[in-house]
């Protein structure tokens, strides 16, 4: 238990730990919202609180993301020079992980499902690879080594922290003709 030698701080902590009970109905409300909300909840109308400073930040962020993603197509471990599949494009992902027993690819395209897209050992020592058919646009992804070690693509130009405490790499599939 974290303690502070000051008796007043210890008393404050004791008082704060003795917090009132959270409404027991909260669990029911959460479950109701989960069951009834549309899957595409992020498209639902919501109030945005923006100041001119926020707008400037958003503009800079978008510019950085688009620029980084543009370069990512050329420099990342994910190469897009394979044959395209109609509007989709086959992307080859690589990761150098000589000590790994397994490597999987997770991302928006496979709902971050650990078992969906395993990489295979390539002909080069320590290099793992997989080909994935992806729709054009920005793709967020990461590699998982041995089932529990998440790593970003060291060659991706864009790697961004997400609000869930991790990081992901970005790749731009397709581009202006």
Integer angstrom CA distances of residue 107 from 33, 62, 65, 150, 153? 25, 20, 17, 12, 12
- What is the C-alpha to C-alpha distance for residues 139 and 10, in angstroms, rounded to an integer? 49
Nearer to another protein, 23 or 99 (CB): 23
Nearer to another protein, 17 or 86 (CB): 17
**Least distance from another protein to the Cβ atom of residue 57, Å:** 14
Nearer to another protein, 30 or 66 (CB): 30
**Least distance from another protein to the Cβ atom of residue 110, Å:** 9
**Least distance from another protein to the Cβ atom of residue 5, Å:** 10
**Least distance from another protein to the Cβ atom of residue 32, Å:** 10
Write out the residues near another protein by the rule CB under 8 A: 1-4, 6, 8-9, 12-13, 15-17, 19-23, 26-27, 29-31, 33-35, 37, 41, 49, 111-113, 144, 148, 150, 161-166
Beta carbons within 10 angstroms of residue 108's beta carbon: 13
The kind and range of the H/E element at 67 are helix 52-75
Nearer to another protein, 11 or 124 (CB): 11
Q: What is the CA radius of gyration of the chain?
A: 22
**What stretches of 28-136 adopt beta strand conformation (E)?**
78-79, 84-85, 88-96, 103-107, 120-121, 127-134
């Amino acid at each position: 238990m974290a303690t502070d030698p000051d008796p007043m701080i210890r008393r404050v902590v004791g008082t704060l730990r003795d917090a009132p009970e959270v409404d027991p109905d909260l669990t029911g409300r959460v479950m109701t919202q989960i069951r009834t909300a549309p899957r595409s909840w992020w498209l639902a109308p919501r109030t945005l609180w923006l100041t001119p400073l926020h707008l400037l930040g958003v503009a800079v962020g978008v510019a950085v993301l688009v620029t980084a993603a543009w370069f990512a197509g050329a420099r990342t471990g994910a190469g897009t020079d394979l044959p395209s599949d109609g509007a989709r494009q086959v992307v080859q992902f690589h990761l150098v992980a000589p000590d790994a027993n397994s490597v999987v690819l997770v991302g928006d395209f496979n709902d971050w499902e650990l078992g969906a897209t395993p990489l295979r050992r390539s002909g080069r020592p320590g290099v793992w690879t997989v080909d994935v058919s992806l729709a054009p646009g920005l793709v967020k992804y990461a590699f998982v080594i041995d089932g529990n070690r998440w790593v970003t693509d060291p060659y991706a130009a864009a790697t961004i922290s997400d609000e869930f405490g991790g990081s992901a790499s970005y790749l731009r599939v397709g581009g202006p003709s």
